[in-house]
Chain A
Amino acid sequence: MLQSRAIAFAFVAPALLFLAAILGWPLVQAVLLSLQDVRVIGSPGAFVGLSNYERVLGAPAFWRAVGLSAVWVLANAVLQTALALAAALVLNEKFPGVRIARTWIIITWIVPTVVVVVIWRWLFSTSGGMINPLLLQAGLIERPVGFFATPWTAMATLVFINSWRWFPFIALMVLAGLTRVPEELYEAARIDGANAWERFKSITWPLLAPTLSVLAVIGTLLSFNVFDIIWLLTAGGPAGGSRTLPVLIYETAFKGYRLSEAAAISVIATVLLMAFAILATRTLEKGEER
Chain B
Amino acid sequence: MQSWLRDSDPGIRISDNVIGVPTGKREPTMRTLLKAALAGATLMTPASAALAQDKVELTLWHMEQPPHRVQRVQEVIDAFNAANPDIVVKQEPQNWGEVYAKAPAAIAAGQGPDLLFAIPDFTPILKDIGALNSVEDFVKELDAKHDFVDSAVEAYSYDGGVWAVPLYNMAMNLWYRKSVFQEAGIEVPETWEEWKAAAEALSKDGVYGIGLPANKQLYTDQTVYSFMVNGGATEIYNEDGSLRFDNPETVASYRFYADMHKMSPADSTSWTWGEAEACFSSRSCAMVLQFTVIATYDTQAEGDAADLGVAAIPHAEGQEGHNTISYANAVMILAKDEAKREAAEKFISFLLEPENYGRFLNMEPGLFMPVTADGAKAESFWSDPMVQKYKSQIETVIQNAANGRLFGFTSGRTFPSIAAISAQNIIAETLQNMVVNGQSAEEAVAAGQARMEEVSKQ
Whose C-beta in chain B lies nearest to the C-beta of A242? B270
Say whether A256 contacts B265, CB under 8 Å.
no
Q: Is A148 an interface residue (CB 8 A)?
A: yes
Say whether A42 contacts B284, CB under 8 Å.
no
A46 → chain B closest CB, angstroms: 15
Q: Is B338 an interface residue (CB 8 A)?
A: no
Interface centre among A43, A150, A236, A237 (most CB of B within 10 A): A237
Whose C-beta in chain B lies nearest to the C-beta of A251? B424
Say whether A258 contacts B458, CB under 8 Å.
yes
Binds A, one of B100-108, B153-161, B165-173: B100-108
Whose C-beta in chain A lies nearest to the C-beta of B108? A42
B272 → chain A closest CB, angstroms: 9
A window 121-159: CB within 8 A of B: 121, 124-128, 143-151, 154
| Complex CA distance for A283 and B285, rounded to whole angstroms | 56
Q: Is B240 an interface residue (CB 8 A)?
A: no
| Complex CA distance for A124 and B419, rounded to whole angstroms | 33
| Complex CA distance for A40 and B265, rounded to whole angstroms | 37
Contact flag A255-B217 (CB < 8 Å), given A40-B128, A41-B108, A238-B432:
no
Contact flag A239-B436 (CB < 8 Å), given A148-B267, A234-B270:
yes
Say whether A126 contacts B265, CB under 8 Å.
yes
Say whether B267 contacts A126, CB under 8 Å.
yes
Q: 1/0 per residue A27-58: CB within 8 Å of B?
A: 00000000000001111000000000000000
Say whether A239 contacts B437, CB under 8 Å.
yes
A window 234-290: CB within 8 A of B: 234-239, 241, 251, 253-258
Say whether A239 contacts B433, CB under 8 Å.
yes
B window 247-282: CB within 8 A of A: 265-270, 275, 278-279, 282
Q: 1/0 per residue A49-91: CB within 8 Å of B?
A: 0000000000000000000000000000000000000000000
Say whether B285 contacts A237, CB under 8 Å.
no
Say whether B101 contacts A253, CB under 8 Å.
yes
Whose C-beta in chain B lies nearest to the C-beta of A128? B282
Say whether A148 contacts B109, CB under 8 Å.
no
A window 217-240: CB within 8 A of B: 233-239
Say whether A256 contacts B216, CB under 8 Å.
no
B207 → chain A closest CB, angstroms: 9
The 8 Å CB contact of A43, one of B129, B216, B285, is B129
Whose C-beta in chain A lies nearest to the C-beta of B433? A239
A265 → chain B closest CB, angstroms: 14
Q: Is B214 an interface residue (CB 8 A)?
A: yes
Whose C-beta in chain B lies nearest to the C-beta of A145? B266
| Complex CA distance for A41 and B282, rounded to whole angstroms | 42
Contact flag A146-B104 (CB < 8 Å), given A127-B284, A256-B424:
no
Say whether B420 contacts A257, CB under 8 Å.
yes
| Complex CA distance for A154 and B420, rounded to whole angstroms | 26
Say whether A255 contacts B270, CB under 8 Å.
no
Which residues of chain A are within 8 angstroms of B414 by Cβ–Cβ distance? Answer: none
Whose C-beta in chain B lies nearest to the C-beta of A241? B436
Q: Is B208 an interface residue (CB 8 A)?
A: yes
| Complex CA distance for A208 and B125, rounded to whole angstroms | 55
Contact flag A146-B101 (CB < 8 Å), given A239-B432, A256-B420, A256-B424:
no
Say whether B101 contacts A254, CB under 8 Å.
yes
Interface centre among A42, A43, A236, A241 (most CB of B within 10 A): A42
| Complex CA distance for A254 and B429, rounded to whole angstroms | 17
B276 → chain A closest CB, angstroms: 10
Whose C-beta in chain B lies nearest to the C-beta of A261? B458
Contact flag A146-B455 (CB < 8 Å), given A127-B208, A127-B278, A238-B436:
no
Interface centre among B101, B125, B269, B429 (most CB of A within 10 A): B269
B window 423-441: CB within 8 A of A: 423-425, 429, 432-433, 435-437
| Complex CA distance for A157 and B423, rounded to whole angstroms | 26
Say whether A127 contacts B129, CB under 8 Å.
no
Say whether B266 contacts A235, CB under 8 Å.
no
Which residues of chain B are within 8 angstroms of A251 by Cβ–Cβ distance? Answer: 424
Say whether B104 contacts A154, CB under 8 Å.
no
Q: Is B215 an interface residue (CB 8 A)?
A: yes
Contact flag A41-B105 (CB < 8 Å), given A127-B208, A233-B270, A239-B432:
yes
Interface centre among B105, B436, B455 (most CB of A within 10 A): B436
A115 → chain B closest CB, angstroms: 15
| Complex CA distance for A198 and B451, rounded to whole angstroms | 58
Say whether A237 contacts B270, CB under 8 Å.
yes
| Complex CA distance for A272 and B340, rounded to whole angstroms | 49
| Complex CA distance for A123 and B101, rounded to whole angstroms | 32
Which residues of chain B are within 8 angstroms of A149 by Cβ–Cβ distance? Answer: 266-270, 436
Which residues of chain A are within 8 angstroms of B458 by Cβ–Cβ distance? Answer: 256, 258
Which residues of chain A are within 8 angstroms of B100 by Cβ–Cβ distance? Answer: 254-255
Say whether A257 contacts B284, CB under 8 Å.
no
| Complex CA distance for A26 and B279, rounded to whole angstroms | 44
| Complex CA distance for A149 and B284, rounded to whole angstroms | 18
Interface centre among B208, B269, B270, B433 (most CB of A within 10 A): B270
The 8 Å CB contact of B269, one of A128, A148, A253, is A148
A246 → chain B closest CB, angstroms: 15
Which residues of chain B are within 8 angstroms of A238 by Cβ–Cβ distance? Answer: 214-216, 269-270, 432, 435-436
Say whether B216 contacts A144, CB under 8 Å.
no
Say whether A124 contacts B433, CB under 8 Å.
no
Which residues of chain A are within 8 angstroms of B429 by Cβ–Cβ distance? Answer: 239
| Complex CA distance for A236 and B432, rounded to whole angstroms | 12
Contact flag A146-B267 (CB < 8 Å), given A43-B104, A238-B216, A239-B436:
yes
Whose C-beta in chain A lies nearest to the C-beta of B211? A127
Interface centre among B105, B129, B217 (most CB of A within 10 A): B129
A147 → chain B closest CB, angstroms: 6
**22 A–B contacts, CB within 8 A, in A order:** A43-B104, A43-B129, A126-B266, A126-B267, A127-B282, A128-B284, A145-B266, A146-B265, A147-B267, A148-B270, A149-B266, A149-B267, A235-B270, A237-B270, A238-B215, A238-B435, A254-B101, A255-B100, A255-B424, A255-B425, A256-B458, A257-B125
Given A42-B129, A125-B265, 13 extra CB contacts under 8 A: A41-B104, A43-B108, A124-B267, A126-B267, A128-B282, A144-B265, A238-B216, A239-B216, A239-B433, A255-B425, A256-B420, A256-B423, A257-B423
Q: Which residues of A contact B (CB under 8 A)?
A: 40-43, 121, 124-128, 143-151, 154, 233-239, 241, 251, 253-258
Q: Which residues of B contact A (CB under 8 A)?
A: 100-101, 104-105, 107-109, 125, 128-129, 208, 211, 214-217, 265-270, 275, 278-279, 282, 284-285, 419-420, 423-425, 429, 432-433, 435-437, 455, 458
- 10 smallest beta-carbon distances between A and B, as pairs: A42-B108, A146-B266, A127-B284, A148-B270, A41-B105, A239-B436, A126-B265, A146-B267, A238-B269, A42-B104
